[in-house]
Amino acid sequence: LCFIIIYAFYILMFIHNFTFIYILSVNGFSRWAHETPTKQTNHLSLMACLNLGKY
């Protein structure tokens, strides 16, 4: 049972990260690249907090 939970966790994390990278590259990358470095750092910190909060 433990193995199945860990396996599912890795699959969900992979799908979530892949989806986020895809959305970022399609919709947000050009806008994100033109923001100030402080805003970029805050955005990455926010995403990291959200990712940690999900699991």
pLDDT at 30: 58
Number of H helices and E strands in the chain, helices first, is: 3, 0
Amino acid at 45: S
pLDDT on residue 50: 67
List pLDDT tens digits, range 1-55: 677 777 878 777 777 667 776 766 666 655 655 555 666 566 667 667 666 665 4
39-41-46-47 Cα dihedral, nearest 10 degrees? 110
Q: Residue 28: enclosing H or E segment and its boundaries?
A: none
Give start and end residues of each alpha helix (H) in 24-36. Answer: 29-33
Cβ count near 51 (within 10 Å) = 13
Per-residue pLDDT, 43 = 66
pTM (whole model) above 0.95: no
